[in-house]
Structure 1
Amino acid sequence: MDLDLAQVRAFVRAAEELHFGRAAGTLGISQQALSKRVARLECLLGTELFRRGGNGVHLTEAGQRFLSPARQTLAAADAAVAAAVGEHRPLRVDVWGHLYAPMRTLAQVAGRAGELTLGHGRDLPSVTAALLHGDIDAAFGRVHPPLPAKLTHRLVRLEPVDAVLSAAHPLAAEPALRPDQLRASVLWTPGELGRLDFLRQFAERFGIRAGTAGVNLGLAHFLAEVAQDPHRFSLLPADVPLPPVPGLRSVPLVDPTPLYAWSLLWRTGDTHPGLDGLTAACAAEAGPGRWLEYDPARDWLPEPSTDRRPPGDA
């Protein structure tokens, strides 16, 4: 019988995630489409590969036997495509932390980095999975542990962070703020604080005890929620263009200035020639753009996290 590689890929991803919704997200398709592909593969093989029930999705014995050779089949197919396309295939790059607009930095180096294919943006766990599966070649965002050992990352940019608050906030008229001046304010986050490494460490370091989370529906919606409450604030890298939200104020943070660390991430040992071009382009921009300036007496960088929970966007 002839296997449909799209169906095999859907099975492998679902087997790795044990969740059809998450698996579909990593492939950029709907959950319904993934379910149909798996069902057609099961029909072709004449056996169930997954046990579906109230306790989630689990591999059957047949699914467990099929998983390893299915991975080998996909690896061989990907290698065949790479051999045929050769060095002319564009470097596939994805991003995460999209609320902080990572494309700004890539746009500044894209002209010197060679041909790139840019992804739509995901969170860090999805990006690492895509890298390990070979769906993308590189990624760009803020890296923090835990990371798989098979991945390599390189610091590209340290960006100062501003406080963004309502124009009615008591501190809105200040020309600059120390982070500890925000202790009496409420940190507004685009998701559960425990999953947002940078914001969580900022709150712990500077004694921000009050916080509330919203739904991440994009930067304009997120900042509109900040503007409506005179007690709230959030953090944004200084160069992120603010949307035209009325009643919003951006104030630099000093003594110390928090820095948001942007990095490139790729599979260890990846030989795609576009990786050298992208890293060289970032290095060339770092000097004149002062991207890597850091003074421990003036700036603050979060410590590497020891939290074993899955990392989020920020």
Structure 2
Amino acid sequence: MDLDVAQVRAFVRTAEELHFGRAAGALAISQQALSKRIARLESLLGAELFRRGGGVHLTEAGRRFLEPARQAVAAADAAVEAVTGTARPLRLDVWGHLYAPMRTLAQVAGRAGPAGDLVLGHGRDLPSVTAALLRGDIDAAFGRAHPPLPGGLTHRLVRLEPVDAVVGADHPLAAEPALRPEQLRGSVLWAPAEPARLDFLHRFADRFGIRDRAASVNLGLAHFLAEVAADPRRFSLIPADVPLPDVPGLRTVPLAEPTPLYAWSLLWRTGNTHPRLGLLSAALAEEARRSRWLEYDPTCDWLPEPPADGSDFAR
């Protein structure tokens, strides 16, 4: 049985959008042409791939076909690129609130091929970035890959970032040389969005008994830190090595016993064969070894969900 790549591509896009109109628009064809391609594919396979009516839903056959179909489309694209030598740029999302993946990427980008072969995007939040990965709109992204990982995605842990507390000069703990996280229980956790949406901050607050939490509007790091410094009860968490803007009255205090670590992973869709993806992953692994990015000691560090056997930290 010989599959038509255009028909398979039409199926994959529709399965990701679950909407014929959006899928047709993404493929720059008419909805009628999209429907015909899918109907011909279903006829060839002898199975219905979608249930129509009351929305678009995958059948059981469609669910089984989806991941192999994605791999078939990726392989076809790779075959064309191998002959023409015109591989498209790697589409990489560098979304982040206070934990900016751009700092990590900047340290390895030159070892992953020419900078012009990267196209950077900025998603709204990790769920929207995950959806873009599954649709194929982007090739890879950075994020904290906590279980359960959505089906069709894989990841590689690349960096564990220690975080410090930031407070205003009038905060009662501003003069301390270091703080244990539980010492912040009487303070207000100030977040750049609803803390429940920022999983790391939410789990930190739950783990260390921070009951008072409040959200700001994310208008940039300088504005956010100025809000922290303006109230003697507020604090937030910042990567220990991030360059901070000059905000009057702001103090940075290391956290210890334990030191919270933010786990960054590179995420991509299973079966993505873009040549730059392997180069980027290898460059990140090399830098992680050189800069000791993956050091973790459970006796003095804290992660929201450490692996049971530590295997992630050897990669």
Q: TM-score range by the shorter chain?
A: 0.7 to 0.9
**Which digits, 9 at most, give the CA deviation of each residue in 1:268-293, with x for residues without a partner?**
22222222211111111112211011
Q: Are residues 1:106 and 2:108 paired? A: no
| 272 and 41 in structure 1: CA distance in 2 versus 1, 3 angstrom threshold | closer
| Counterpart residue type for residue 92 of structure 2 | V
Conserved? CA contact 1:145–1:304, under 8 Å: no
Q: Are residues 1:183 and 2:182 paired? A: no
| 79 and 269 in structure 1: CA distance in 2 versus 1, 3 angstrom threshold | closer
What is the CA distance between 1:185 and its match in structure 2?
A: 0.5
| TM-score in terms of structure 2 length | 0.73
Conserved? CA contact 1:142–1:263, under 8 Å: yes
Aligned-partner Cα distance in 2 for 1:273–1:175? 47
Q: Within 5 A, what are the aligned runs for 1:16-35?
A: none
> What residue number does 2:259 align with?
257
Aligned-partner Cα distance in 1 for 2:158–2:260? 16
| 60 and 245 in structure 1: CA distance in 2 versus 1, 3 angstrom threshold | farther
Q: Within 5 A, what are the aligned runs for 1:57-76?
A: 61=53, 64=56
Q: Within 5 A, what are the aligned runs for 1:165-204?
A: 165-204=167-206
What is the CA distance between 1:61 and its match in structure 2?
A: 4.4
Conserved? CA contact 2:193–2:217, under 8 Å: yes
> What residue number does 1:94 align with?
93
Conserved? CA contact 2:93–2:140, under 8 Å: yes
> What residue number does 2:224 align with?
222
Q: Within 5 A, what are the aligned runs for 1:237-276?
A: 237-276=239-278
| Aligned pair partner of 1:124 in 126, 151, 167 | 126
Give RMSD over aligned pairs: 3.7
- Contiguous gaps of at least 5 residues in structure 2: 1-10, 35-50, 308-315
Conserved? CA contact 1:220–1:243, under 8 Å: yes
> What residue number does 2:213 align with?
211
> What residue number does 2:282 align with?
280
Aligned-partner Cα distance in 2 for 1:197–1:304? 15
What is the CA distance between 1:97 and its match in structure 2?
A: 2.0
| TM-score in terms of structure 1 length | 0.73
| Counterpart residue type for residue 105 of structure 1 | T
> What residue number does 2:160 align with?
158
Aligned-partner Cα distance in 2 for 1:80–1:271? 10
What is the CA distance between 1:144 and its match in structure 2?
A: 2.0
> What residue number does 2:302 align with?
300
Q: Within 5 A, what are the aligned runs for 1:29-48?
A: none
| 229 and 11 in structure 1: CA distance in 2 versus 1, 3 angstrom threshold | farther
Seq. identity, % = 67
| Counterpart residue type for residue 278 of structure 1 | L
Q: What SS class does the counterpart of residue 100 from structure 1 fall into?
A: coil
Conserved? CA contact 1:164–1:235, under 8 Å: yes
Aligned-partner Cα distance in 1 for 2:286–2:162? 20
Q: What SS class does the counterpart of residue 244 from structure 2 fall into?
A: coil
- Contiguous gaps of at least 5 residues in structure 1: 1-7, 28-35, 46-58, 306-314
| Counterpart residue type for residue 228 of structure 1 | A
> What residue number does 1:32 align with?
none
Aligned-partner Cα distance in 2 for 1:168–1:258? 24
What is the CA distance between 1:41 and its match in structure 2?
A: 6.1
| 81 and 154 in structure 1: CA distance in 2 versus 1, 3 angstrom threshold | closer
Q: What SS class does the counterpart of residue 142 from structure 2 fall into?
A: strand
Aligned-partner Cα distance in 2 for 1:127–1:42? 26
Conserved? CA contact 2:92–2:121, under 8 Å: no
